[in-house]
Amino acid sequence: MWRHIKPAESNLRAWQLGLLVVVLLGWQLASRDQQIAFFLGEPVKVAGRVWSWFMPFSFGENRLFPDGLPGNADIYLHLGVTLLETVLAFGIGTLLGLACGLWLALAPSASAILEPYIKAANSMPRVILAPIFALWFGLGIWSKVALAVTLVFFIVFFNVYQGVKEVSPVVLANARMLGANQRQLLRTVYLPSATSWVFSSLHTSVGLAFVGAVVGEYLGSARGVGYLILQAEGTFDVNTVFAGIVVLTVFALLLDGIVGKLEKRLMKWQPRSGETEKL
């Protein structure tokens, strides 16, 4: 019976916040053991590290953070590099995936010829391409962007391809009967059909764009949040590692929220789940 109990929308945020507080309290209590703290860090010190990163002044001696966390305004430079790599990879990968997905879905002959090669490329662990991209594009942002594009591209591509393939033959027949040409079919039938598939893939692609950028920074970079995390791992500073993870997670959620806002604006024509249930 408890499985059917569902928090109301009015207090859903309170439940979510409460769960977060419980997890953080449990983490803080567990970190009193120094052995656990060595591997898992301490939430208070993680929060202090994040705070010190974004504040232009130094804590100095502080009772709350006794290790004297330094202010580090350079986080804006590192975060800016990672965000730039992520946004570029997200945009380029999405456009390429959309274009190639539409093309192959509407070109059966090309799709049949390229299918084994696309499957082979998708099954390849893309991380192994990082050294090749570093050789081609150098150690700047473009080698990280290229790696992240390979992660984003296939997610968008397969969703767009499937979305176009799922177009109802009845709708197509009716549109052709009304005299629609190929360009009009693309604009009024194929693209609207693929739009919901595209946005479902974009929510996943945001995280993958961050993954590609950070992994690229791990393998060779002098800037970026991934570089900061790598430096902290080298000194066994687990609190800084978790602080970097928190920062990346927050900004990934912000980008995902922007995608969600864009989805709501562009998908007004699509009925919501509650509205379909009423119908």
Q: What is the pLDDT of residues 36-55, one digit of tens each?
A: 888 888 888 888 888 888 87
Distance CA 3, CA 1 (A): 5
DSSP annotation of 110 reads H
Name 189's Cβ contacts closer than 8 Å, sequence gap at least 6. 167, 171, 172, 175, 180
Distances, alpha carbon 90 to alpha carbons 142, 154, 204, 276, in Å: 13, 12, 11, 32
At residue 74, the pLDDT reads 74
Name 209's Cβ contacts closer than 8 Å, sequence gap at least 6. 86, 87, 89, 90, 93, 148, 151, 152
HEC assignment per residue over 257-275: HHHHHHHHHHCCCCCCHHH
* pLDDT tens, residue by residue, 182-230: 777 777 777 777 777 777 788 888 888 888 888 888 887 778 888 888 8
* pLDDT tens, residue by residue, 150-194: 999 999 898 888 887 777 677 666 777 766 777 777 777 777 777
Asked if 103 and 164 touch (Cβ cutoff 8 Å), the reply is no
pTM of the predicted structure, to 2 decimals = 0.76
9 band by pLDDT with thresholds 50, 70 and 90: low
Widest Cα–Cα separation across the chain: 78
* pLDDT tens, residue by residue, 243-261: 888 988 888 888 888 888 8
Distances, alpha carbon 144 to alpha carbons 89, 100, 221, 260, in Å: 8, 22, 9, 25
Which domains, ranges and CATH numbers included, belong to the chain?
11-73 (no CATH), 75-267 (1.10.3720.10)
At residue 4, the pLDDT reads 54
